[in-house]
Structure formats: structure tokens, C-alpha cells
Structure 1
Amino acid sequence: MIILLIYGEGPHTIAQIFIPLAGLFYLKFLEVKRYSWMILASLSIMLMAISNPIGLWAGGMLLGSIFIIFFLYKANKKEIIFRTFLIFILSYLFAAFWYTPGFIQSDLIAEGGGLAKMLFWHFPWGISLAGLIIGVFLYLIRRFVSSPYIATLVFWFLLTFFVIVAFYKYGIEFAPQARRYVPELDMASVALLAVIASRISKTIHKKTKFADYIIPLFVILTLFFTFKTWSAAKYFTSYDDGANRGNVEKRMNQYLSGKILPLERIFLSANYSFWINMQTDTWHLRGGHWQASIHPWEPHAGYQIISDKDGEASFYWLKIFSLKWILVNNFGSSVYYRDYNYPDKFEGILTEKEETIDSAEVLYKVPLVHEMAGPVDLNKIASLKVPQNGVDKEALKLYVSWIDENSSQFNFKRLNNDRYIIEGITGKNEGIRIAMSFDKGFRAYDENAKRLEIVKDPLGFIVIRPPKPGVNKVTLVYKQTLDFYLGWFLFAGGILLAIFLKVIIKENDGKN
């Protein structure tokens, strides 16, 4: 867990606090119809969801396990469905100020194109196969396990184990970013082992008076054998030793901060992206850490740059996202999660480079014609192709040629995160392409405060139609959309619904 915090999994770790709480309160509400359990379960799920989407999916596996097992074991199935529905509705309404419809539609977990597209991608093969395997699990659990509580823990463990093994062994993702659920597997394992140890202790207790000492002895031995792990954790968290990894990232951020100018972008690997995001104001592609990115091609570009061996396609993506710098971790880098599978692919493609504070870390400079803004031919937008995938080099090359065709330079100035000034010369039938994700909240105005048309280009970036050829000064402003206010409206509706349910719910102390 400490290492997770060191390498940028803080929000995920926070979400893990609420996963067992959500499971406990949900289970209690299924057993006893009490208003307090319902509210506590809904709030725990809400906090889990807004902490981290990965935590939400991981928590969903626990909650799903509880629902499936209780539905299978308990007689009053309609009541289980009804209570689960109440929890689901309240949880979403409580989280609606964050999980707005637009937020969910954009890219809930990234590495795809939104929640709906991800579910469609998994159907029918992924869902059908998972359903078949789950069915076999349930049959075996129901046959050999009599307690619904033990059955829930067994099913939760098997489900999490299956998701992780399917990814690492066969490359199949039954849940988004399946490689990140290892801590939840540990959590399920510990819970299952605790129940097993408790059962063993009770069995032994009937036969010997020393049973009360078995569990404490087990805990002491476990702590003894994990002492080295704690020593390693201290090594990771200490900044006193100049050789430790945390200090490498800190010193690299200091180096990059002095090298990269304001409004210039850089691409970094996983743990560097977290630390530079936390410690500096440097712009980089993974500022959102691949979670809830609104740009449809950002995760594909990141995958190509890091994981694929095609250097040419990676080069095109660097130019498309106006990434002036890229820090590549070669083999031998002191950074633990260096990410790059083919670091040599940039040799010969990116010629300007320099060694950094680590000889195995190379900083490349990408030759950009334009950085944040530049003129583009509006008549050619229709001829541009939407890439079939992240390695569609024909479409990518055509797009890069389009944005690089006119070398006229624009001045791009940031007033704040919601207001930008763009100034430059455009020719006839030319627009201004901004290397920022298109969003309906953006508004563009000319010098006379007249609103200008904004369109989305084939790769999801902003293109502004200026009022006239020649010198143009445009103000780009972001304003909250109806979607934002809808989220808060739904949140208020959730509060009112909770009050209403307090009045109408008839609490039942009897177990379901």
C-alpha cells in the first residue's frame, strides 16, 4: 500500500478505505431494513466513486458478489432487489455532482471511448464468457458452502482473482485497467484467510485450552516475516538517502522545471507523471492519469508511445498532441515503473536529445511547427480521415501534414485555466486549430466580443473559425455547461429522496 502511494495510486488507495465499508453497510441493509444502513452504504459508495474510478469498479466486484450470493441463498429475492435498487439510486444521486452524464459519456475509465463503448466492446464475448465462468463458480459455491458470508468472500476472491489472471495470463480485460486490482485481491485474500483462521480457531477451541493463543501467535509470526517488507517501505518513503527512488523523481522534476518553459508540454512515464503533476505546474499529456480523460484519442496515443514498437506512429502522436518534449526511460533506469517497452524506437526519428540527471533517461525534443495554436485549411477538414486505430499511420500522417502545412506562428497566452488569448495571422478559408480537447463548454470571441464558431476536428481538437483573413485576436473561454448544473440538480434530488425515504421506510429489525 505504501508503494502504491509512492507511485501515484493515492486516490486508488483512498477508495480502498471505502470498499469494505460500502460492502459492510450494504450487507447490513440487505439483512436488516434500517434507514441508517441504507444511508451509510450509499455515502460509502459515493465516496468510493469520487475518490477513484478504479476503486469504484473494484468495489463493484465486492458489492456484486454480495448481491449475487444473497440473491442465491436468501428466500426473499424481491426484497433484495428492491433494497439494492434503493442503494444504487441513492449512491448515484449522491455522486451526480461529480459523475455528470457528460463525465460518464466522455471516458469514465479511459483506455477506450467512454463507458458505453467499453461495455459494447466487451459484449458479447467477454460478458458471455465471464457469465459462463461465474455460473460455474456459483454452482460449486452453492453446492459446497452453506454460509452466505463465507460464500460471499469466496466468490469475491475468485472473481477478483479471475479478472487479474485473465489479464496477465491471456491479455483479456474483464474490467478496465485490470492490472490495478491486485490490492483488492490482497484485501479479499486477507478477509477470506481471517474467516478460515477463525473457523480453525473455533474448531481447535473445542479440543484444547491453548486455542486463544493461536491467532495472536499467527499475527506475531506474520509481522516478524514481513519486517523486511516494512524496511523496504521505509526506504521508499525516505527522502534522506539520495539514492532512493522517491528522490530520483523529485530531482528529475526540479531538472525538468528548469528546462521546460511555461505552456510547453512533455510526455513522461507513469510515476513521473504523478510526481510532476503534484510538484510542478508543467503541462503534460497524462495530467489526468488516464482516468476520465475527455479526449477520445489520448489513451490510444499514450499506449502507442509507451507500449508499441512503431516509432513513426508514436512520432505522429507526439506532434498531434503538441508534445514538445518526451522523457524516455531506457533499460537500466533507476525508475521502477519506467513503462517504455521499446525505448530505442525513437532513435533516428527524434534527433535532438540530451542526457538528464540519470544516464539511462533521455530527454528528446520533438520538432513542432506549432505548439498550442496554428492556422489550418478549413476546406481540407472533410478530406481528413478518422484513424481506424492508434497505429493507422496513413490517417495520422495526413492529419500531421494538415496541421503543419502553414508555418505562420501564433501567440498563445493563458490568463487562467478557463481563459486563453490566441493571436496570429490567418489566410483565406483558414481556421485556428488549438491543441486542446473539444468541449461544448468552450466559447470563442473576437476583439469586438462577437462569438465565433468552434468545431471539432476529426481527432477531437478545437478549430475556431475567425471572423476574417488577416490578423485575428481571439479569446477562448470555458464556461460551465448545462451538464454541470444537471449534476448538482441530481445531487439535490438525492438529498430530498433520502429525506423522503426517512419518512416512508418502515424499519425492520428482523433478519432477511
Structure 2
Amino acid sequence: MYPPQTSLIPTAVALTKFLEVHGFSAFNINYPFWYLGSTPYKFLIGPLIPVLLSFIHRILINSNLFSITIYLVLFSILISALGWGILAYKVQNEKSKFIFLIVLILLLIMPWRYLVAIGLDDASFTIARNFLPFVFISYWSFMKKRNILNTIVGILNTSILLLINTNIIPALIVGSVALGIAYSYQEGKIKGFFKSIKYLIPIIAASLLIATFWYSPSYWLTILTNPSIGGSSTLKATLRIFDLFKGIVPLLLAITAVYFSGKIKSRLMLFSLVWFFTFLFLTLFRLISNIDFWQDWTSWFWELEIGIVLMSSKLILGVTHQVFTLIGDVKYPKLLYNRFSEYLIVFGLIFTLFVAANTLYNKLGRPNLLNRQVPEEVLSSLDRLESISKDNIVFLSGSTVFWADSLYDLRQVRGGRDEVSLDTDWDKASWEIRQGSDPKRSYEWISKLNISYILVHTEDSSEYYHDFNNLKKWEKIGKKVWEKNGDEIISVSNE
């Protein structure tokens, strides 16, 4: 079983395949197939997912890593629905477990998470997202009863989360603040918020320290000074810090909007609103920044779906309780009329999610999310490139970047996690090769990085991401050695 062309699941497969070959020593060496072999393997993925996939693969020897990864992702989605249901039940603090069932059912039928998990996202990040509610459950238990056991569980869960994928940190911070606000909410007022949060800070800090023992301090420094930001190293760090501060603004706006609404009667609704509006503002910031880069500004839709489900569940619980309690009352028809607006809100929110998911599915070309074979548009060109390139460096773009090393061992310029790359030239070279119009400058970068073959996708290619501009320049750079279905392999002499 294989995902569609646009999926990032192959990156986890590629890294797990490398672990199976080299064992645990893989975590102490550079990964040779991405970013010109510049980057430590342990920077590219947390240790838990490749180790788990490798362990399962040893047991299910007749299953391939793609199938195992997909099943693990789908299982994590199911477990996540249970986790969010349990969290909603605990935060709501009611004897009825109906809220748990509502959240569970809604999350299991909501489409966005399935589509993105299989069709777009990296497997380890998806699994980290799905483990997040269990971290929040441990935080809630700790705030209710601060003892050694709850402290250990909180640190353990957070450490596991970070050792799955550190990209989950923004959602972890937003959720922690939202939980602190919800826990501090009493009789219509927020009391003791900073006291609640200050006890969570040591747990998160201790977990970051544990994660740092694994990743090393240079891992965080690399992310902070990532070359994709641009400018000198100091400037990159400064810009990244300002980016982090900018990310706090939506959270503050969300808290302010919720606090002054004056109509919040529930801790769960307060948590849901802070969570939802924070990610809504973050989405709007990204949308305004670059409306054409839809992969970026839709990246928080997963969190928005969670927020919508939690808000809708609370509304459904409240409305259903009143409706069934007052059946037969003379005011029953009036009650139904007054509650109609709330039902309309719930329907509108859920309907919006289905519309968004359908729009994305159409945007992706309505692919089969689960396939019996590797997508042909990926396989044919990579298979030929592997036979031609031998051990030479190749340049790939689009989805082939992520698929290449899950199927073969191709030494390429790009890779599956740009923010941790230690090579200082790959990003500038990649832009020039794909977007640049000057054949001479493109050749200079190709020669500098010792690239021997480039897989070029023309307008007729079935590749989803058409990254190459100025296709005519390749006639002046190298020799076409293979062509099929709009894909071309260009051989370049670096002598």
C-alpha cells in the first residue's frame, strides 16, 4: 500500500530504511542522501518513529514500510480522537460522558485530518499531532493535583512528543496556554492564570532539556539560524526570534477576544475558543503574507479542525441537554427557535470543514489516497535516473525529492527537512537551478555542487509540482539523455 504522489510519508520510509541498514549507529552519522550528505541523521527525524517502524517491520516481514507507516498514521488518528474526547470530558468536568462520545464521533468523520495525513504531511509530524491530546491530559491532571507522579507523567509525555517531532512545539505552547486559561476560569473570571502556567513551565523546560540531550544544542541553533531565512547568520537568528515573537500576537489576540466576549460559561468552550482563534489568526497572517503559497497558510487547518470539533461538541451538548430536558414544556417550541442559531453555527462550522477538504482534494487532482503500487508518475523517472546516475549527485524537484530515497539510494541536493540542513549552498543553488533564467549562473551552481544529473519536469509532466521555469536554458547547460511523459534527465559535465 502506497500514498499519493504529494505525500511526505516516503520521507519517514527513507529514513527508516537507512536505520534498518545501519542500526543505531545511524543516529551518530550524517545521512548521505539529502543535502549533499551535510546533515546528521538525528537532525532529520526524531528517534521514536523510525525505531518503532523498524521494530514493526521485523515482526511483519511480509509488509513493506509504506504499508506499516500508513497503518501507524491511521491508528494514531483513531487514538487521537480518543485522546481529544478524554480531554474534553476532563476539561468539561461533568458527570455525563456524552461530550466524550460527541468529540470522538465528530473527529472520526471529519475529513481534513485523513486527507492531509495521507496526502500531504510527514508521518512523524502527523503522529506527534495525534499524541498531543495525551500530553494535554497529563498537564490537566498535573494542574488539578501537583504531585511527583503527575510531574513525571507530564515530563515523560512531553519528552516522547518532542522525540517524535519537534515541529509540534507551537501547538504545544498554544494548547498549554489555553489549558492554563481554562483551568483558571471560575465564575466568569480568570483567576490564578500565571500560577497555573508557571507550574507547567518546568515540565516543558525539563522535557526540552531531555530532547536536547538527544538532538544536541546545535540542533536548535541550526533551526534558529536556518539558511532558508536569508542574510548573514546573526541576521537569520534575529529574524527568527522576531518571527517567534510575532507568533505570540495571535495568541494574545485570541485570549483578548475570548475574555471580553462575556458569554463564556464553560471551561471547554474557553479552551476551544483560545485554541481556535489563535490558529485562525496565524492562518490569516500566513494567508496575507503569501496567498499563492497555499501549502503554508493551510498548514494550521488541522488545528482549526480540532477547535471546530471541540466548539461544536460543546454546543451540541448544551443544546441537546436543554431540548431533551424540556420536552413537553409549554416553552418548548420557543426554546427550539432560540436554539436554532446555535444549531446553524454548528452546521456551518462542520460544513466549512468538508468544503475545505473537498477543495484541497480537488486541488491535489483527486488522487487515490491509498494505492496498490508506487504512483507511476514517480516511479518511471526515478527508476531510470537510478540506473543512469550510479553514485553521482543528482538534482530533484517536486515530489520526487521525497520519494527518491524511499525507493532507491540517490545522493541529492535537496531533502525532506530543509530547516535542519547544514549545507550553506543547497537552497541558493536550488533556487537558481529551478527559477533562474541565466544558463551560465545555473551551470556555475551545478558545477560547484558537482551535480551530474538533473531530473527536469516540463509542462507535459504528470509531476504535481512544476518547479522548473525557463526550460529552454537546459539546452545550453547539458545533454538530454532520457525523456518520457514530459520528464527529462539532463546530464551535465563538470569538467
Give the shorter-chain TM-score range: 0.5 to 0.7
- Say which SS state the counterpart of residue 266 (structure 1) adopts: strand
Which string of whole-angstrom CA distances, capped at 9 and with x for unpartnered residues, describes residues 100-153 of structure 1?
1011112369433799865520555x5666555544432221012343432222
Contact conserved, 1:53 with 1:108, CA < 8 A, in 2?
Answer: no
Q: How does 1:168-247 map to 2 (within 5 A)?
A: 168-171=287-290, 180-208=299-327, 235-239=368-372, 246-247=375-376
Q: Provide the rounded CA distance (Å) in 2 between the counterparts of 1:233 and 1:44.
A: 37
Q: Does residue 102 of the first structure (1) align with residue 212 of the second (2)?
A: no
Q: Does residue 159 of the first structure (1) align with residue 278 of the second (2)?
A: yes
**TM-score using structure 2 length:** 0.59
Which amino acid in 2 is paired with 1:138? I
Contact conserved, 1:11 with 1:51, CA < 8 A, in 2?
Answer: yes
Q: Which has the higher helix share?
A: 2
Contact conserved, 1:108 with 1:115, CA < 8 A, in 2?
Answer: no
Aligned mate of 2:156, from 43, 50, 62? 43
Which amino acid in 2 is paired with 1:43? L
Q: Which has the higher contact order (CA 8 A, sep 6+)?
A: 2
Which string of whole-angstrom CA distances, capped at 9 and with x for unpartnered residues, describes residues 27-86 of structure 1?
332233244443333333323323233333343333344346656864334532431122
Q: Does residue 121 of the first structure (1) align with residue 250 of the second (2)?
A: no
Distance 1:194 1:332, change over 3 A: farther
Q: Provide the rounded CA distance (Å) in 2 between the counterparts of 1:317 and 1:99.
A: 31
Which amino acid in 2 is paired with 1:248? E
Contact conserved, 2:460 with 2:485, CA < 8 A, in 1?
Answer: no
Contact conserved, 2:181 with 2:193, CA < 8 A, in 1?
Answer: no
Contact conserved, 2:275 with 2:307, CA < 8 A, in 1?
Answer: yes
1:366 is matched with 492
Which amino acid in 1 is paired with 2:127? I
Residue 283 of structure 1, CA deviation: 0.8
Which amino acid in 1 is paired with 2:255? L
Residue 162 of structure 1, CA deviation: 2.2
Distance 1:246 1:57, change over 3 A: farther
Cα RMSD of the aligned pairs, angstroms, is 4.1
Gaps of 5+ in 2: 1-113, 337-342
Distance 1:77 1:181, change over 3 A: closer
Which amino acid in 1 is paired with 2:381? M
Greater Cα shift, 63-72 or 269-278: 63-72
Aligned mate of 1:277, from 405, 410, 414? 405
Q: How does 1:403-422 map to 2 (within 5 A)?
A: none
Gaps of 5+ in 1: 370-512
Greater Cα shift, 41-50 or 64-73: 64-73
Taking only the aligned residue pairs, the percentage that are identical comes to 17
Residue 8 of structure 1, CA deviation: 6.1
1:25 is matched with 138
Q: How does 1:15-94 map to 2 (within 5 A)?
A: 15-67=128-180, 74-77=190-193, 79-94=195-210
Q: How does 1:249-398 map to 2 (within 5 A)?
A: 249-262=378-391, 264-306=392-434, 313-336=441-464, 338-340=465-467, 342=469, 344=471, 346-359=473-486, 361-369=487-495
Which string of whole-angstrom CA distances, capped at 9 and with x for unpartnered residues, describes residues 192-239 of structure 1?
33333333333433344999xx9xxx9xx99xx899979x98823213
Contact conserved, 2:447 with 2:494, CA < 8 A, in 1?
Answer: yes
Report how many residues are paired.
350
Distance 1:141 1:59, change over 3 A: same
Contact conserved, 2:134 with 2:157, CA < 8 A, in 1?
Answer: yes
- Say which SS state the counterpart of residue 98 (structure 1) adopts: helix
Distance 1:23 1:321, change over 3 A: farther
Residue 368 of structure 1, CA deviation: 1.8
- Say which SS state the counterpart of residue 327 (structure 1) adopts: strand
